[in-house]
């Protein structure tokens, strides 16, 4: 799995260490093996041989990361999870226990310093699920170390971070998947395809679900200072990462980082990192962002109407779905809508879904992707191809998030040039495209 040729060039034919081993067995190396080795160890009967599994490690696995690990990685015959890096001992111990129980051994190693786990040559890929503040930093360091990356969302804190992720993935030829998993779920795929196939007629307006809580203008207040813990129990300096220093309070590490300006991409980033991606993918605009961001005098920017250069408008809305992270596409001949919990999209005309299975299969054939976001990652790691939530898709989605945030922070309308990736004639707004990082944590 250690192929080094560029994913961005869709390179084929690279032979990694595990493919070489598999070929050796096929060529006759198996004759020297004991006859009692089970077929699963040789990759027979559809099993994946241990030598051909993607070796993975975790960096910063809290609640969401634990879910990814327990649902998608540990049960998968395609992967082998071998190490956990976390600044909190309780998380390191919990993840190790999960992995050891799953594999029936005590082999999962634990680390505090991410560079120690990234230095291991046997590790192919990492899962990172820290809070927003570290997703890009960890991803970039991992790719520079030659690892492929599955990162949770929101996957960047700034426009500059997103640019750095794109640049690093291209330069180092790494596979990268952002955790926008609805791009790999059948109901959302079909909803997007209805728009792409023209079944809604001319589409001028799409709606992206906005999380119904919080405030775009996040808190900058510090929680009360508490005594620093033993770094072996919780390393506060490493927890902060690139963020500005502040006194320790355990509340930050137990979810209190939410709604803090230094750590969070706001209520817009919470669900927009999913719903904007859906809308932009359906419209064929996953490689760009809207060009105008009108200020909305509400705490959450509910109702912000963001037009693209082609005239289609994406509107942030808090209501209109009976599930979370919904999208709604409105055209001249009908509409479709989907959200979490919808077995199939809701449509203005049931006939649109008469060939639901064919729509889905045609998409999978056309794109080469698969249903299941981690499975798409595994496939692309093996084939060295672009994932469905590749760096460009992530970056353009998060650019939309960041631009909307900046308009709300400055309390004025902004115009964005998605080609130059800068605000038009607004020096102050352009300064918000990046943030200073603490010494030792700079990535750009």
Q: Are residues 99 and 170 in the same domain?
A: yes
Q: Are residues 172 and 203 in the same domain?
A: no
Q: How confident is the model at residue 73 (pLDDT cuts 50, 70, 90)?
A: very high
pLDDT at 301: 96
Provide the CATH number for the domain around residue 80.
3.40.50.720
Q: Are residues 100 and 209 in the same domain?
A: no
Q: Are residues 325 and 207 in the same domain?
A: yes
pLDDT at 18: 40
pLDDT at 214: 86
Please indicate, yes or no, if residue 321 is contained in any of the structural domains: yes
CA distance 97 to 236: 23
Q: How confident is the model at residue 56 (pLDDT cuts 50, 70, 90)?
A: very high
Tell me which H or E stretch contains 293. strand 292-293
Is-cis flag, bond preceding 206, omega within 30?
Answer: no
DSSP single-letter state for residue 98: H
Please indicate, yes or no, if residue 190 is contained in any of the structural domains: yes
Kindly list the distances between the CA atom of residue 409 and the CA atoms of 53, 222, 231, 291, 301, in Å, as whole numbers in the listed order: 46, 20, 36, 17, 10
Q: How confident is the model at residue 39 (pLDDT cuts 50, 70, 90)?
A: very low
* Three-state secondary structure string covering 147-194: CEEEECCCCCCCHHHHHHHHHHHHHHCCCEEECCHHHHCHHHHHHHHH
Determine contact, residues 329/346, Cβ cutoff 8 Å. Answer: no
Determine contact, residues 83/109, Cβ cutoff 8 Å. Answer: yes
Q: Are residues 322 and 350 in the same domain?
A: yes
Determine contact, residues 234/87, Cβ cutoff 8 Å. Answer: yes
Model-level pTM? 0.90
Q: Which domain holds residue 169?
A: 7-181
Out of 16-20, 197-201, 347-351, 361-365, least confident range: 16-20
Q: Are residues 201 and 80 in the same domain?
A: no
What pLDDT, in 10s, does the model give residues 127-155?
999 999 999 999 999 999 999 999 999 99
Determine contact, residues 180/386, Cβ cutoff 8 Å. Answer: no
Provide the CATH number for the domain around residue 201.
3.30.360.10
Structure-token pair, residue 255: 């979810």
Determine contact, residues 145/124, Cβ cutoff 8 Å. Answer: no
pLDDT at 444: 61
CA distance 129 to 148: 14
Tell me which H or E stretch contains 352. none
Using the Cα atoms of residue 407, residue 299, residue 244 and residue 256 in order, give the sign of their dihedral: negative
Please indicate, yes or no, if residue 431 is contained in any of the structural domains: no
Give the chain's domain count: 2
């Amino acid at each position: 799995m250690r192929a080094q040729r560029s994913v961005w060039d869709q390179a084929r034919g690279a032979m990694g260490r595990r493919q070489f081993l598999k070929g050796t067995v096929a060529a006759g190396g198996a004759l020297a093996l004991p006859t009692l080795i089970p077929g699963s160890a040789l990759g027979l009967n559809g099993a994946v041989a241990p030598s051909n599994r993607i070796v993975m490690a975790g960096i910063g696995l809290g609640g969401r990361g634990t879910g990814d690990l327990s649902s998608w990685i540990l049960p998968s015959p395609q992967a082998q999870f071998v190490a956990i890096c976390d600044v909190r001992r309780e998380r390191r111990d919990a993840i190790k226990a999960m992995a050891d129980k799953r594999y029936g051994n005590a082999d999962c190693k634990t680390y505090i310093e991410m560079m120690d786990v990234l230095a291991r040559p046997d590790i192919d890929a990492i899962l990172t699920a820290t809070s927003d503040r570290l997703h890009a930093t960890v991803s970039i360091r991992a790719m520079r170390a030659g690892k492929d990356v599955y990162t949770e969302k929101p996957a960047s804190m700034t426009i500059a971070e997103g640019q750095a992720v794109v640049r690093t993935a291209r330069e180092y030829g790494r596979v990268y998947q952002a955790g926008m998993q609805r791009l790999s779920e059948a109901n959302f795929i079909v909803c997007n395809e209805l728009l792409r196939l023209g079944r809604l007629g001319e589409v001028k307006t799409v709606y992206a679900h906005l999380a119904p809580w919080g405030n775009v203008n996040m808190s900058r207040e510090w929680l009360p200072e508490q005594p620093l813990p033993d770094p072996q129990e919780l390393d506060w300096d490493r927890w902060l990462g690139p963020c500005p220093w502040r006194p320790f309070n355990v509340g930050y590490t137990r979810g209190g980082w939410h709604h803090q300006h230094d750590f969070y991409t706001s209520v817009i980033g919470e669900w927009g990192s999913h719903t904007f991606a859906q809308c932009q993918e359906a419209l064929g605009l996953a490689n760009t962002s809207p060009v105008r961001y009108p200020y909305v005098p509400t705490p959450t920017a509910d109702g912000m109407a963001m037009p693209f250069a082609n005239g289609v408008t994406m509107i942030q809305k808090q209501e209109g779905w009976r599930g979370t992270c919904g999208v709604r596409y409105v055209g001249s001949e009908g509409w479709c809508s989907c959200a979490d919990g919808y077995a199939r999209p809701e449509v203005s005309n049931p006939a649109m879904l008469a060939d639901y299975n064919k729509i889905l299969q045609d998409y999978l054939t056309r794109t080469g992707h698969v249903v299941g976001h981690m499975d798409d990652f595994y496939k692309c790691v093996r084939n060295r191809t672009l994932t469905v939530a590749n760096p460009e898709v992530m970056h353009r989605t998060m650019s939309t998030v960041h631009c909307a945030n900046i308009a709300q922070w400055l309390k004025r309308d902004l115009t964005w040039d998605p080609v130059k990736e800068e605000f038009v004639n607004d020096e102050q707004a352009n300064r918000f495209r990046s943030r200073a990082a603490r010494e030792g944590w700079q990535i750009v």
